[in-house]
Amino acid sequence: MKKMTLRILPAMLLAAFSGAASAAAFQLWEQNASGLGTAYAGSAAVADNASTVFFNPAGMTQLSGFQFSAGVTGVGPSYEFRNEGSSGLVGNGSNGGNAGGWAAVPNAYMSWQLTPSLFLGLGISAPFGLATEYQDSNWVGARQAVKSEIKTVNYNPSIAYRVNDKVSLGVGLNYQTIDSELTSSLSRLKGDDAAWGWNAGALFTLSPAMRVGVSYRSTMDYTLEGNATTAVSSTPVRADVKLPDTFILSVWQQVSDRWEAMGDLSYTRWNSIKSLNVINRNTGALLTSETFNYDSSWRFAWGAAYLANETMKLKFGFAYDRTPVSNVDRSARVPDNDRLWFSLGGQWKAGTLGKIDAGYSYLYVKDPSIDQNRAGTTLRGKYDASAHIVGVQYSVGF
């Protein structure tokens, strides 16, 4: 049975929407390593391996025969708190150490060409994720947060159809599971659920040297059910939450025999998260509510690739990622803020043996400030925040 603590059930969802270091809020862009070197610019238009199943299923029409791609990305955020006047029950007064740490984001994709115009695909990935833990479990903010871990797994069968030489369409079904654990010095939380969603995309080949892609991923509606447990009681509860939908507009262009350029503009509707209501399942009464007041966010990326020789391609990119959380809503579970991506990568082709992509990104995060009054404490200060992302991917076709 799922077990949840009444006092931290709202905090669980706040953690989920406070942001992983890789992308604004709870979203993970690391759905392949081939796009990491360009900061995921052109994600819905590049379509050079089977991972297009996630970013734009219509891109499968650019892949012949059977295609397979698999990889892993390591995300290493760093969050170091600087106390600036916290008060209340502040534990032993320490700053908690580095709340970040490395976490793996694996992925695997397949694409099959059934006819000259019809394609099927399957993707397994993690679109949302969070992992932070303060090294000192009795730090100054321990009553608000110690450990926060949220994992998702997304299963994404897809189909694409080439309408003509200029237009391709694609659509996919998503079954997504979520598993979470949050702790503080007062309590511990574990919970899980599953939900269905969909995604769709279109790819426009304006010329042999230019493609434009658009894609959309739907919201994911979860109902977390479990028990609200305190030191003296246990109450069955539920809490509805909607993970946001995302729209992507991408462009890819072959500038010359050796140079490619790509761009990306994405929009995520975090404004669907305004508050979280925790309901007593026995009586239907509202037990507690927490306000989020998130705004929708957007991300811009630009990248380029240079063909150094027949087997080696070099990549670089830049992105600006805007956070949906304001200063007054920021949580100690993961202190999110606007960030800049600086990315490098490469691709090595081994002929019929396939190709290997590798990439690295450094994320500069604007120092987040926090001033939160919860659980008998006021946590006030700033964080030094940044992240390193590394990834490797193998792709092959037959």
Q: How confident is the model at residue 19 (pLDDT cuts 50, 70, 90)?
A: very low
Distance of alpha carbon 46 from the chain centroid: 20
pTM: predicted TM-score of the whole model, two decimal places: 0.90
* pLDDT the model gives residue 261: 98
61-65, 102-106, 213-217: which has the minimum mean pLDDT? 102-106
CB 47 within 8 Å of CB 62: yes
Cα 292 to Cα 329: distance, rounded to the nearest angstrom: 6
Return all residues near 78 (Cβ < 8 A) that are at least 6 apart: 21, 98, 100, 384, 385, 386, 387
pLDDT in tens, 252-300: 999 999 999 999 999 999 888 887 777 888 999 987 666 677 889 999 9
| Superfamily of 9-397 according to CATH | Outer membrane protein transport protein (OMPP1/FadL/TodX) (2.40.160.60)
SS3 47: coil
Q: What percent of the chain has pLDDT over 90?
A: 64
Cα 257 to Cα 305: distance, rounded to the nearest angstrom: 11
Cα 342 to Cα 364: distance, rounded to the nearest angstrom: 8
DSSP notation for 194-245: EEEEEEEEEEEEEETTEEEEEEEE--EEEEEEEEEE-SS-EEEEEEEEEEPP
Placement of tokens 């654990």 in the chain: 181
Return all residues near 364 (Cβ < 8 A) that are at least 6 apart: 339, 340, 342, 386
pLDDT in tens, 156-213: 999 999 999 999 999 999 999 988 777 788 877 677 899 999 999 999 999 999 999 9
Q: Identify the CA nearest to 203 among candidates 172, 170, 174.
A: 170
Q: Does residue 1 have a pLDDT over 50?
A: no
pLDDT in tens, 295-349: 899 999 999 999 999 999 999 999 999 998 888 888 888 788 999 999 999 999 9
